[in-house]
Every structure is written in C-alpha cells, then in structure tokens.
Structure 1
C-alpha cells in the first residue's frame, strides 16, 4: 500500500519556477522551466479548477463525473503580477500562484486565508505501471474540520482520519473499515467558520489524509492519472455542497412510489412465497410499495432469465402484485455466465462486448452463476446494447425497477475480490487499464441500466438502485450502503453514512434496515425502522440465512412500532417529495448534518447522531439497547417536540425522554408540514384535503409543498404545483400568506390546518381580507381549521 510519509518517497519531484504564463478565455496556463504546466480554470467566481501535467502537454480532458449540461460562467476575472506571485482575482476569491515553486494560496476578498499549499503538487514516477503517483498537500489550521467523502463508516468529522477510495465488496464491513463500496473523492473543509470544498476528480485508487500523519497537513494522492481538482468556496457549507452537486449533476424526480417503503430479502421465491409476503403486508396494514426479487428468480443466476419452476408466469405474477399496489424490482448483476446456450452470453461474445485481459483473453471470474465474463460498460456501444436488454423485463413483464449489485466489480475466490489490474477498458474512447476504470465500473453499469429502464418505462419514470458508485452516479440511480450487519454499532454507522452521502451529492440513499448479515433483535429492528423511515431510500433487506426479517418476524409490539413509523413516512410523503424537488432543483441535501444546518455554532462540528430531515424536522435516533431517552443537541432556534408539542429553545444539549415506540423528533417553529392520509401504497386513495401541520412562531418562516402527477414527465412541462407558505406570528395574530406556481391542479380542494402552539385564543378569521364564520368552541376542541385551497392570505386574529 502506498503511504504518504514524505521520508518514504525518495523519488518525490516538485515543480520548479514559473517561466511564462498564457491567458486563454477562462483559463490561465503557468509554464515552469521543467515540463510542469498548471492550468487554472475559473468555472465560476467561487469555483476554480487546477490541472497539472508533468510531461509538457495535457492528455484528453475527459470525466465521467462532470455533468455536461451544467452551466459555467464568472462575473469578474483579473490577472496581476507581483515580484513573488501571479494573482488571479474573481468577485469571490484571490488565488496567488507563487513564481518560485508553483505553490498556491487562496484568500477571500478580505485577504483571509481559505486554503494554501503546504508542499503543494508533487509526484513520484511509477516504475511498475508508468505515469505518476500524483500528490497534493495543503496546510491545515488548528480547529479545521472535514466532512464528506461518501459512505465512510466513521465519525462525521474526518479530522485525524486517513481514508482510501477503491470500490470494494466489503461484506459485513466494520466501523472505520476502508475501503468501501463507493468512491466520492469530495470533501468540505470548515475553518474559522468559512467552508470550502475540494473535489479530486481522479478515478484511480485515491487516498485522503486529514491531519492523521502530520498534525497540520491535509493531503490527497492517487496511484495514477492527473492531479486534477476543483476548489469550491462557500463561505457557507450550503454553497459548497450545492455547487459540487451542480457540478456532478442531479437526478430527475423519482416516481413517488419509490419514496415509499420497500421490502427485500435474499431471496423471495417461489411465487407463492412472494404472494404470501405481499398479502401479509396488506393484512397487517403496514404500507409497502415495492417487493424485490434477488438472484434466485433467475435460471441458474443468468441475468435476464426467469426460473420457470419458481416463477412459471412472471408477467401474470407481476400484474397481480401491481393490482395490489406492489411494484416488482429485480436484481441484475454484471457477471454473464459463460454458457454457449445462453442468448445474452452468445450475443456479447459475437459482438466482442466483454472486458479483456492485457494479452487478449476475456476477463474471466467467478460470481453467482459460476465462471463469467463481464461487459465493458465503459464502451458506449456496450452500454447501448445493455440498455436494450431490459425490454422484456420492463415492457413485456412489467417490472418497475432494477437493482444493480456486485458492480464494484466483485469477483469471488480471488485475493483482491475484483478484476486484475491489467484488464483493458474502452473508457469512452480513452483506452485504459482497470487501475483507472475500476472505480467507475459500477457507475457505468448503473448508467446503462438507467437508460434501458427509462427507455422501456416511458412515459413513466425509471427506478434504479446501485451498490457501487463514483461521483456523479446520482444522475442515474439511487444507492444503498451495502452489506451491513444486524448490530447496534451498524445502526450508528447507517445513520452517519446516509447523512454523509447526502452532503456528498448522493441524496437518494438508505441502508439495509435491520442489517443484512446476522439476525437483529426485535428491539434493534424497531430502532432501525424508526431511523430508516427518515432516510431518502427506505428498504428492509436481509441475507435470509438466519430466518426472516419481515416486520411480523418479531412480536406484536415491534409490528405495531413498524406500522406506526411506516405510516408516519407515508403521511410525510408530500414533505419528502418536496425535499427531493429541492435536491434536484437546487442541489440541497435531503438530510442535513447539524454542522451543515448551523456551521456558525461550533457545538455542531462534532455531532454525529442528530440530523435535519428536509429543512424543518430534527431527528435523533435511539442507538443503544434498553434506552427510553437520550442526550441530544438541539440546534439554535425554537423547536416543538413532535410527540408532546412542547416548545424548546435550542443551542444546547438536553435529555429527551422517549418511549419504545418513539424517537426524539422536533419540528422547527413556524414550519408548515404537509401530510397525506395513510395509504397502503402510493395512489391507493383519492383525498379531498391536504393536511398542513402549522407550528406557531413569533416572526417569519417559509415552507414549501411541491406536488405533481407523482410519475411521468409532465412536471418538466410546467405541470406541477409549488406552494410557498409564509407564516408571520405576532403576539395576538398569525398571518399565513400563500403563493402558488405551476399548472398542475391537485385533486384536493381544501386544506386541513392543524395549529400547534398558538399563544392566543382566536377571535376571528379573515381570508383574503374577508371575515369568515368561525366556531371557536369547535376549534378549541379540535385545534384545526378547514379552508378552501385557493386563498392568498389567511389572517388569524386573537382575543
């Protein structure tokens, strides 16, 4: 393993002095008296890209991570020279490039240091493979904190940690284990209440050291490729994360049912077992929208086939499940069984679509079907072929989603658990070895799957989920955190992983509720479901070798708790859908760690457990057995206890009592939280009113509700409904202003407004400056108002 100890790097090389510069459009080239060139590109006033080459010229500029549709542009760019450095100035930052050694310092406009090189760029020649091991080291200040990097199973703040990025099948991984399934080489630094981001867009095996080896040095390096990174200035974490998410792309809206509850196991078969599980959900009145078929639905684990003994008529079964509200999701792995009678294998062989070793033979590895070859998803022709294979599953049989697994890629019975590094890839016309393509293999498989599922689902929206991913994969698919374990420690890990994924651009993520490996106790399962319903992707999944993990595998109390919390998720679907809309429109993460929510409060910088669900709901899971309460931090502001409606002032740690059927949940004062009635599946009910839970606050607060047809693409033609509620509370009155956008007309005609925390008794009510009749006795008993949905201003006047 490569380490970053400078003394071990006898062969380190460094840039020499700058001899010339050239300004072309948005880029400035700095040439040294060696062969090192730095290309600095101003993409936005707050986003700079740094590319280094050591060979006197740049290779083709190609990235799978960058969203080609995103727009760039800056307001101001000025280049000046002093005796010691060149300065590139935008309307947000100053960047100084020192003449002597090409080192860089970045300042805000008040000349406060945001980030500066320590050794800066340096490299070591790779004699084994050719090319360079490329390195970057930055100075770090005392108190600096670091966040991000995707699914790392460690504390939220990465200060003092060293992490490795190499997509790996880590069955039953542990806390702090490295590396894991996903590669997201993006982090947020927070120092002196100023945030910045670094995205190291290099697909080779990469490492990040956050003051682990040397106390005041942060470094990142790669085993090959370019030193190519993006610097993003905040100063708010919000700006850093949304800019990075914009750079690497956002998904389209999922169908609303994909935000419901999903049930999965390795494996539900035969058909009678699938039907039995589905029927039990309906019998117990636990809402569920999707049921998954793992590898056993296939004929000998051959992708795109069905085991006719277990599933004699899959189209009929899928149709019958759909009639009861269940969408069928099937697994598809990358390994294609070597079998001359198998049509998928035959076609790929004839068309030369499989990955090859360096000397020509096809890459061969053992996975579930036995010996397999593997498609080269980095070839656009192969991706197009792969997409076409989904026609039968989606169009003919009626499957509604596809689950990509084993795509790190995972290979069994070999020491490194994956392809040999000499395997060759097309890499979209930039041929390379597996050293470069490994980390994006799963991403490109998910991309090809997405295009196939989308093509054959149209005019409905696709649903895809992947285990392995690289930055930008969120454009194509949702994800989950891999093969976790039914332990309390893994409940803690799942909570942090999903928060971390959300601020790393990949919001549509969840964990295997209850743990994949081993058997949870009823208490652990209940506590996990209480957390999982607040994750963007919500699925129970288990390995099945220890028995069942459906809610009814536990006692009546656990069944009741599961029903209660899954019901709550279904009530909150319009809130969750609105969160998703804000994520795809503005890049706002759906879950917000407390440090993201309030970086000014240093008490939030090391918090792991609490998070903000959307913008206005604070959630804190119970993470220990036998706990009927816990200490937690309430961020600054006013918050209502969801269960008791007690109003609490934040900015402090408090003890919160709970019951077994509760976890600490708080709602931000002033919030308007939209709710639907409980449905057993999305679209089961038509309803005539939207429930709005309004929590009084003295002062102003804004809330949003986004709705559309819940599937299809009409929302892209303006057929959506966006409600913005501005509440303004005073001592003796409350004004609710409603602004509406969009051409979609919702089915309901009324709002049922539940009022919490009103500090006065109501004397009268005006809608759009007209008094309406009001039964004060009825209100005091029920605490809600029903009003027609078309109002602009609702004025509640106190006595």
Structure 2
C-alpha cells in the first residue's frame, strides 16, 4: 500500500475466512513470528523458517524477494523489476468536474481538457466517460517461478488447461463480463475471475494468489534461465540452465495483496488456498442429481408435462428450472399470474410428491417500477448502486430500465436475504432454490455490457474496485437467504454465473452461454478442471450447449460427459428446439437414459468426493497430473481427467469416433474397465474402441467405489436403496475407499455430528469396514447387498462374514475366471457397523 495515501485504497474484504498463518511452517508448530534472522546488513536480509533448508532472501536495492529451498531458488519477486504502483492524486485544480461543466454550460470544456492533459483522468468509450476522481491507480508485480514451465489456473477463460505464453500481447484478462457465445481459445475475461495461478514440476507445486477484485491482466513468459545453485562459498556454487516462468500481474486499482502457496504437493496447495478462502460448501444431495432447464418452460402445464415425461421414459431427475419468463414482467420474487397462477400447487402437488425440487432465476437488476415492492423498498432505503453524481445508477437489462442492488453493502445483503422468507416471497416453498444470473453485472447498453467503472458503491468505493466481487456478493446474500428461510437448518443450493475467489463457500458455478458445437464440449473439460483447481469443485457446463441446436450425436456425447462431472444440468436457449432427453429417437433416448442412470448409481461415490472437497479441499474433478505429479506425460493432458482418485474419464468430444487414445498413467498402476471389469493392459497411450453407447471410464486399482444397486426417480427416493461396493485391486492386491452418509439436506452433519464416515480396506484377502470418524452419530438401516472384487487371481474355496457381536456367516459368491472377478451376493451388511469378510 502507499505509506500515506491521499485517501484509502481498496482492500478486498470478506474473501479471506481468517487471518492467514505460515502454512509451510504448520508441521513445525510455528507461524510467521518464528522466522529468524540469519543475515542482516544495509542491503540484504535473510530469514529462515525454523531450519536453514528454507530461506527468504530480501534485498533492498533493487528490491527483490527470493525463496530458497535447499540451496535452490523456487520463486522470486520483482526479479524483472516490474513492481509498479500509481499513487492516488488530488484532481488538478484547473480541472472542473463534469457536473460543474454541465451546470455552467462550458463551451470550452474540450479546450480545458486538452490544457490539463486529462487523458489520465478521463477515458472515453463512445458516448461513455470513465471519470477517475483521483487519477490512474494501477499496480503491478512480477514473479519468477524457477524450474517451472507448466502453469495452470486463473479461471475463467475458454482456453487450454496449460496456460499459454502471452508474448504476442494477448494476455489473460480477469474481468467478469456477460459474453453471449464466448469464443473458444480466447484469453478474454468472461463470467468469473479467480486470481489464483498454480505452477507444477516434478517434486513441487506452488501457487500465487493475487487478492485483487479490479480488472486484472496476467502476462506469462516461459524461458530458459541460468540458475545458480548456491552454497556456503562462492567457489563451490554451480550453474545450470533450467526453465523459468515469469508471471506479471497488473490490476487497475487496489493494493498489492499476494499470497505464495508453497505446497510442495498439489493437494497441499489446495488445502493452503482453502485455509485462506474456505472450502467447497457441502451441497444438498439432490443437487448432485440431474437438472432439467430451459429458457423457458412456458407454464405450469409445461412443467407438469416435462416432469411426467421423465417418468414415462424411466429417466431420473431431481430439479426443474424456471428462467426469466416465469416472473411478472421480469420482476424477481414474483410470478407470471397467467402462466404460473398457482405456483404452490405446482411445487407441492407435482414436484414435492416425487421428492423433486424447483430452481428459479433471480438476477441482480431490479425493474424501475414504483409499484414493484422490491424496487420501492430498495429505492427508499438507498440500496442501489449510485452513479458518480449520487443518483441511482440505471441501465438496461431484461426488464428494461433497471437499477442494481448494491450487494457490497452488508445491510443490502441482510435485506435481500429476508426476501426469501415465505411471507415475503409469495408462492415459494421449501423446495424452491435459486439461480443468480447476469450478475457480472450485465448492463445491455454499458461499456462491454457491464456497469461503468465510476459508478459508486457502499463506502464510496468506485465500481472499478469491486467489479469482480459483485456476483460473489449476490451469491453470498442468496445462500444466506435460503438458510435463513429454513431457520438455519437446511443447506442452500445457489448457482451463480459470476464468481470470484471464495465463491465455493456459497454454492455452484457453470461455464455460461456455450454453444451447441463440438469444440465447446471439448473446451468444457479444461475449463472445468481449471475452475476445480481454483477451489470451486461444484462446477459444470450446460449439457447440449446453450446456443443452437445440437445434432443427436453431440447431445448424446455431452450427456455422457456431463453425467461424470460435478454439476449436471441440461439447458437451452429460448430460440432452440425443444431438447428433453426423449426427443431424439428411441436409441438416443436409451443411451442418454443409461448415462443419467449411471450418474445416479454413482451418487454415493460423488457425495463422498464432495465431503472430501468440503472437509480437506480435494477437487472433485481433477487433472490427471494432480494424481500423478511425477509423471511428465500427464502435465498437459486435458482431454481426460480424474473423478476423485478412483475413476479416469475420457469424454468423446469429436463426431463419428470409433476409437480413442487414452493415456493410462502410472507404470505401477492397474486400470480396469469400469463397466466390463476387464483389466486394461499396458501403460501410456492405449487405443480403446468406442461406440455411441458409452465413453471410456476406467477404475484405478487400489480403490473401492460405493454405488447404489438400483436407481429411483430422484435422489431422495433412493435413500434406502442397497449399496454395491466395487473393489479394484492394485499390484499388491489391496484397495481402500470411503463412504460418507448424512441426511443429505440439513446442517446436522456439522452442528450435531449426524454423519457417518466408513473406511473400506482390502488386504491379504480380508475385506473390512471400519468407522473412519468416531465423532459421527448418524444411523442408517441401509445395507451393502453386493461386492465385486476385480483382480482376484483365483477362485476362493469359501467366503465368510464376521459381523460385530455376531457369528461368522457363509457368503454366497461366484467367480468369473475369464476376467478375474469375484462377486459376493445376497449380502445384508449394515453400512453403519463394523464387519470383516475372509476370502480363503
């Protein structure tokens, strides 16, 4: 920051969950105060963290910081001398304000601007002016990552997983914008911004978190650099050439507030980032099912017909969505009385009976209408964003002339949360949840379709300071509203289009207005992996593509991919043909049905993954290199990914494909076809035949996956369905896995420890179920009915079950010698108690 700023500079609030500690020192039981001085002179300071293996070298002239580990430089700051800080300034005395000029009708304003050289103080964008009250205030700093050439992160862009060099001047931009049908392979800013960059090399992962919510640009340059391996004497120091990636951050305003995450392993980075910004909120179980959305389902009869269509075609689903047309003239928290005249009946008689849910859209712009209660209350209380003259900012969006709620104001968020009360939101029920769209914020006739930067928010901060936080704050307020509606008992579900660092605490995100084209299906995989690495596990892309009409093969392939990604929603633009899963012929319906049903059978595994994301910040969907950080061949893979640690998924993203080249990582790993149970031979790139029926999914040896044995109409109707355990043995003929259970909807898992965490272990022909957390107090009658063990080399003579406080029992089994699969059948092993199976 400036030592004595002309006025305060913006410092991002509410994103950090607590004051950070020195995470790299936690294992030593120390914090920042434990840093000790090894060397101190007029120009240099050397600090160490408990031992001399890790040191910080700070030089004053030129200013530079280096982190040295075991004699090697890991990263350095300002090594290229690009530290930049524009100080705030008082406006030139000769410059009259725009309001003064308007009042006086000055005919010489243009001449005056030229005289004062006001290009730094005012920028023109067509008919718009951006007045910088205290001049330009940009900041910048460079970091050099020594020995690193693979960098990832800084979502959201429709780009490759590996970040590209920007030497051509096409830099990565973090600036949340409403972009309809964004371009593939573009570094432009779209709906979200998380200023987190990860770098990886064998042996170390590092991260840079640049906490700034104004428009930010990121330059990346990878080069070969001469490194000096330091020692205690200059004579014994050595030189070698290593790759180096230089990263330059530039933001329009604010302060330099940066965190270096030291790893050293990928999962350490995820935990360290979560220590700063929080973990993924544990979603309600229903939200992991399939969501059916369209702009727009016409009326209550349409909703009822679509709902019945899923049952008629034996396709499970959990949530139907209503877009802007369900409201009274795009007035949010209202209903179109002609089309949705009895919304409570629709929810309770159509959806609630089948344990299904409704999601409605709630955008941040509010129609300018004195008779609209939301508008009149917000107007009276001064809850809208202001323009630079102090009047309510007004822009055009879906309702026409609109004002924009100032969610940066805690009082506005409190008031907005109260609007979800049943007494306020007439026609809503406990099964209604929320979708925050257009919250970049979108302004149809604004510069780049968003709010002017000199608009004014709570605390007299300009919009330029808080732009990338706006959607973050709306989702925060919406999630709080749904929690408050339930008396603090129920978990919310909120999907947001605009997001920032920390948005994972409040719900889910998606990749916005994609197109029904193959390249958008393909780019969705690296987009989702990048978002996942930035802490937001609950993410997805519109299945089928929002814009345009997908050919049947594309739609099928998108369902198959989406079913194995965290957030699973089909969505379509109002100008597209109807796209319910049964409208593309019987054969395509069958394939889509199978994909959705497979998703539902995998819900126990997915829910356990989300528990891990919530508890210890492990991404649900993760790049292959995260699981195999030493394997160079995985570092650039973006056409396949790991779903948890157990499943390798390869979406088919091109038409008329009959075979794909799948990379099987880990020379010591065993991989099994998830559906056929066949062991896949070889390591590295393997050619796998494919048909339209499915996409390649492989289970990793050494894992146990819990599944449901059958599928119901919705997740809540599957609570008592028995489990199957899919055990895949590794080279040591061992496997481990987890099952997490709670009631699926409340906060009792947190406040009353009403949860169950079980650990399954297979070793030396003994398979056991043990409690993995003694604090859990959740009870269930559900049982394990079947166990498949893949990789058993010979048929056993007997299998017996030892159950806590019970006698040993013989277990029925079959053995398929051709594929080495042992199936234990007709079991009735309660998932909440200890038991052991002995295979002899």
Aligned residues of 1:337 and 1:370 also touching (Cα < 8 A): yes
Answer yes or no: is 1:684 the counterpart of 2:717: yes
Find the aligned partners of 2:525 and 2:702 in 1 and give their Cα distance.
Answer: 27
Q: CA deviation at 1:422?
A: 1.0
Find the aligned partners of 1:560 and 1:394 in 2 and give their Cα distance.
Answer: 40
Residue 479 of structure 1: SS of its match in structure 2?
A: strand
Aligned residues of 1:738 and 1:792 also touching (Cα < 8 A): yes
Answer yes or no: is 1:403 the counterpart of 2:435: yes
> CA 1:110/1:768 → structure 2, altered by over 3 Å: closer, same or farther?
farther
- Report the counterpart of residue 772 of structure 1 in structure 2: 809
Answer yes or no: is 1:104 the counterpart of 2:62: no
- Report the counterpart of residue 478 of structure 2 in structure 1: 449
Q: CA deviation at 1:154?
A: 0.8
Residue 387 of structure 1: SS of its match in structure 2?
A: helix
CA-to-partner distance for each residue in 1:86-118, whole Å, 9 max, x for gaps? Answer: 122225732111132221111224544344542
Answer yes or no: is 1:655 the counterpart of 2:687: yes
> CA 1:395/1:714 → structure 2, altered by over 3 Å: closer, same or farther?
farther
Q: CA deviation at 1:72?
A: 6.7
Find the aligned partners of 1:432 and 1:133 in 2 and give their Cα distance.
Answer: 15
Find the aligned partners of 2:3 and 2:628 in 1 and give their Cα distance.
Answer: 39
- Report the counterpart of residue 187 of structure 1 in structure 2: 197
* Residue 795 (structure 2) aligned to one of 753, 757, 761: 761
Farther-moved stretch of structure 1 (501-510 vs 215-224)? 215-224
Residue 599 of structure 2: SS of its match in structure 1?
A: helix
Farther-moved stretch of structure 1 (155-164 vs 740-749)? 740-749
> CA 1:213/1:272 → structure 2, altered by over 3 Å: closer, same or farther?
farther
- Report the counterpart of residue 794 of structure 1 in structure 2: 836
Aligned residues of 1:251 and 1:584 also touching (Cα < 8 A): yes
CA-to-partner distance for each residue in 1:336-357, whole Å, 9 max, x for gaps? Answer: 1111111111111111111111
Find the aligned partners of 1:585 and 1:147 in 2 and give their Cα distance.
Answer: 23
What does 1:497-512 align with in structure 2 at a 5 Å threshold? 497-512=527-542
Q: Which runs of 5+ in 1 are unaligned?
A: 1-50
- Report the counterpart of residue 297 of structure 1 in structure 2: 326
What does 1:30-429 align with in structure 2 at a 5 Å threshold? 62-68=12-18, 74=26, 75=30, 76-83=34-41, 84-91=43-50, 93-120=54-81, 122-123=83-84, 125=86, 127-128=120-121, 129=132, 130=135, 132-141=137-146, 144-161=149-166, 162-177=171-186, 178-211=188-221, 217-320=246-349, 321-392=351-422, 397-398=428-429, 399-426=431-458, 429=459
Find the aligned partners of 1:491 and 1:327 in 2 and give their Cα distance.
Answer: 27
Answer yes or no: is 1:719 the counterpart of 2:719: no
Residue 530 of structure 1: SS of its match in structure 2?
A: helix
Aligned residues of 2:75 and 2:146 also touching (Cα < 8 A): no
Find the aligned partners of 1:54 and 1:192 in 2 and give their Cα distance.
Answer: 44
Residue 87 of structure 1: SS of its match in structure 2?
A: strand
Aligned residues of 2:281 and 2:507 also touching (Cα < 8 A): no
Farther-moved stretch of structure 1 (92-101 vs 773-782)? 773-782
Q: CA deviation at 1:324?
A: 2.5
CA-to-partner distance for each residue in 1:714-756, whole Å, 9 max, x for gaps? Answer: 1111111100112224xxx344453353211122144421222
> CA 1:189/1:782 → structure 2, altered by over 3 Å: closer, same or farther?
closer
Find the aligned partners of 1:119 and 1:686 in 2 and give their Cα distance.
Answer: 58
- Report the counterpart of residue 127 of structure 2 in structure 1: none
Cα RMSD of the aligned pairs, angstroms, is 2.5
CA-to-partner distance for each residue in 1:363-411, whole Å, 9 max, x for gaps? Answer: 1100111000111111111111111111137685214210000000001
Q: Which runs of 5+ in 2 are unaligned?
A: 88-119, 122-131, 225-243
- Report the counterpart of residue 522 of structure 2 in structure 1: 492
Find the aligned partners of 1:702 and 1:524 in 2 and give their Cα distance.
Answer: 36
Find the aligned partners of 1:562 and 1:596 in 2 and give their Cα distance.
Answer: 30
Find the aligned partners of 1:333 and 1:385 in 2 and give their Cα distance.
Answer: 15
Residue 182 of structure 1: SS of its match in structure 2?
A: coil
Find the aligned partners of 2:333 and 2:19 in 1 and give their Cα distance.
Answer: 32
> CA 1:65/1:93 → structure 2, altered by over 3 Å: closer, same or farther?
farther
What does 1:368-767 align with in structure 2 at a 5 Å threshold? 368-392=398-422, 397-398=428-429, 399-426=431-458, 429=459, 431-458=460-487, 459-636=489-666, 637-648=669-680, 651-676=683-708, 677-685=710-718, 687=720, 689-699=722-732, 700-716=734-750, 717-729=752-764, 733-736=765-768, 738-741=770-773, 742-767=776-801
Q: CA deviation at 1:209?
A: 1.2
Aligned residues of 2:388 and 2:455 also touching (Cα < 8 A): yes
CA-to-partner distance for each residue in 1:2-22, whole Å, 9 max, x for gaps? Answer: xxxxxxxxxxxxxxxxxxxxx
Size of the alignment, in residue pairs? 742
Find the aligned partners of 2:72 and 2:2 in 1 and give their Cα distance.
Answer: 25
Find the aligned partners of 2:814 and 2:412 in 1 and give their Cα distance.
Answer: 69
Aligned residues of 1:762 and 1:796 also touching (Cα < 8 A): no
Aligned residues of 1:400 and 1:457 also touching (Cα < 8 A): no
Q: CA deviation at 1:142?
A: 6.3
Find the aligned partners of 1:58 and 1:340 in 2 and give their Cα distance.
Answer: 36
Q: CA deviation at 1:183?
A: 0.7
Give me the TM-score of the superposition, normalised by structure 1: 0.88
Find the aligned partners of 1:236 and 1:778 in 2 and give their Cα distance.
Answer: 40
Residue 138 of structure 2: SS of its match in structure 1?
A: strand
Aligned residues of 1:141 and 1:191 also touching (Cα < 8 A): no
- Report the counterpart of residue 111 of structure 2 in structure 1: none
Farther-moved stretch of structure 1 (534-543 vs 112-121)? 112-121
Aligned residues of 1:765 and 1:794 also touching (Cα < 8 A): no
Find the aligned partners of 1:307 and 1:53 in 2 and give their Cα distance.
Answer: 55
Find the aligned partners of 2:650 and 2:271 in 1 and give their Cα distance.
Answer: 24
